[in-house]
Amino acid sequence: MASSSTYNEFHVFMLIGIMVSSMVASCAGSFYQDFDLTWGDNRAKIFSGGQLLSLSLDKVSGSGFKSKKEYLFGRIDMQLKLVAGNSAGTVTAYYTFS
């Protein structure tokens, strides 16, 4: 059986973890608050209450956005939807700069 001090240390550790998690969740921004759609007319759209950004391109141009804040690191996930049939000639680029 675990000692009382080990039991209390576990609960303190769990409480700290819950507090940190709630602080991170409350600090999470959205594309509405933290980013500007810089170009692309109607090819850049924000969905899901600011949690999802959709960038699209057509035969003429694409779309872009920029952050209002500076970040030390980040993560980008991308899903591509290609045209039906032979899409071997499709070229897509994703540029980042700082």
Assess if residue 24 is contained within a domain. Answer: no
Q: Which helix (H) or strand (E) holds 4?
A: helix 4-27
Q: What is the pTM of this model?
A: 0.52
Q: Is residue 95 part of a domain?
A: yes
Strands (E), the chain: 35-39, 44-47, 52-55, 64-67
pLDDT-derived band at 46, boundaries 50, 70, 90: confident
β-strands 52-55, 64-67 pairing: unpaired
pLDDT tens per residue across span 50-77: 888 888 877 788 888 888 888 777 777 7
Structural domain contains residue 61: yes
Residue 78 domain flag: yes
Enclosing domain of residue 35: 29-98
Of 81, 82, 76, give the one whose Cα is nearest residue 94. 76
Number of domains in the chain: 1
Please check whether residue 19 lies inside any domain of the structure. no
